[in-house]
Structure 1
Amino acid sequence: MTALRNWTERELAQISASAELTIAVPRRDGGWRAAVPIWVVTAGGSVYVRTWRRRETGWYGGALRSGEARVTVPGLEVHVSVTDVSGDPAVRAAVDDAYRRKYGGGSGSDTVSGTVTDDAARTTLRLSPRA
């Protein structure tokens, strides 16, 4: 198992301040897929991402298969381990609240409801920085 570390306060602040992060996942041939932008939230000192629906393709499927990704926000690039935490009701509540707080106003308000549905909650992934 790969050694993990905690996010630093600085890293959490950078991620929280970013409207989105980019995530790249490994391809089956050992290379990396092109990075794609996704919404990101922090809660309880952890970093979480979701997609609107669970699927085995694209970045989400690659993250589940490999258990790893590279994430980037301005001034920060981190190799992370990916953990499916979709079955934890306490995590779901905290992540739903974080999405509503971060994206509930402004241009994201029409879309945030899609990220807190039961289907979206079933795609919740925790990103943990590798040591």
Structure 2
Amino acid sequence: MTTAPTRQWTARELAALDAAFSIILAARTDDGSPPGTVEVGLVVTLNGVFVRAWRGPVSGWFQATQAHGQGTIRYNGRTVPVRFQRAAPQDEPAIHDSIDHAYVYKYGAAGSAGIATDEARATTVRITPITGTAPMRYETPC
């Protein structure tokens, strides 16, 4: 799997993502066929963008992000090429409490109930924009 280098999210991009209720995520496919898409909730914390699969590792979209590592996200009418990188609890333990809290803050206790489980934590994915893609421009307020 070849992965393109990444860049940092801009403050404006992070603010727009934080305000978005969800994103449309699509992982690249090996055969060049159009990828399937899924709408997922996201959080912004510690200057990063994170998603989790509440169904755990059996979630097809999670498996696709891990198999292919790249794809796109769509929100607010913008499509951004991105890299998907697993942020496993054993690899990055310090961020997971922050992600849990961000989900509760954004979606409420009921809306985030299944996302702080060990199974969901194991599917945490950091989303980073690919270098060479310009930060998004906004014609209208976010």
Could you state the TM-score of these two structures normalised by the residue count of structure 2? 0.83
* Matched residue SS, 1:127: strand
Kindly report the root-mean-square deviation, in angstroms, between the aligned alpha carbons of the 2 structures.
Answer: 1.3
Partners of 2:100 and 2:117 in 1: CA distance: 9
Show CA shifts across 1:50-83 (max 9, x none). 001112x621111000111200111322111111
Shift of residue 110, structure 1, vs aligned partner:
2.4
Query: CA offsets per residue over residues 7-41 of structure 1, 9 Å max, x none?
Result: 01111111111110000112231223222100000
- 8 A Cα contact 2:9 2:129, kept in partner: yes
Separation (CA, whole Å) in 2 of partners of 1:91 and 1:125: 12
Identity value in percent? 31
Secondary structure in 2 aligned to 1:6? coil
| AA at the equivalent of 1:127 | I
Separation in structure 1 between the aligned mates of residue 17 and residue 45 of structure 2, nearest angstrom = 11
Gap regions ≥5 residues in structure 1: none
The list of structure 1 runs, each at least 4 consecutive aligned residues, that deviate by more than 3 angstroms after superposition, is none
> How many Å separate the matches in 1 of 2:103 and 2:110?
12
List runs of 5+ in structure 2 lacking aligned partners. 132-142
* d(CA) in 2 for partners of 1:51, 1:15: 18
Contact 2:104–2:111 at 8 Å: present in 1 too?
Answer: no
Give the corresponding residue for 1:35.
Answer: 37
1:103 — aligned with what? 107
For residues 34 and 17 of structure 2, what CA distance do their matches in structure 1 show?
Answer: 22
Q: How much has 1:99 moved relative to structure 2?
A: 0.4
> Is contact 1:11–1:76 with CA below 8 Å preserved after alignment?
no
When normalised by structure 1's length, the TM-score is: 0.89
Report the residue type matching 1:119 in the other structure. Answer: E
Question: What is the 5 A alignment of 1:12-23?
Answer: 12-23=14-25
Counterpart-to-counterpart distance in 2, 1:50 and 1:81: 15
Partner Cα separation in structure 2 for residue 27 and residue 20 of structure 1: 22
d(CA) in 1 for partners of 2:24 and 2:106? 17
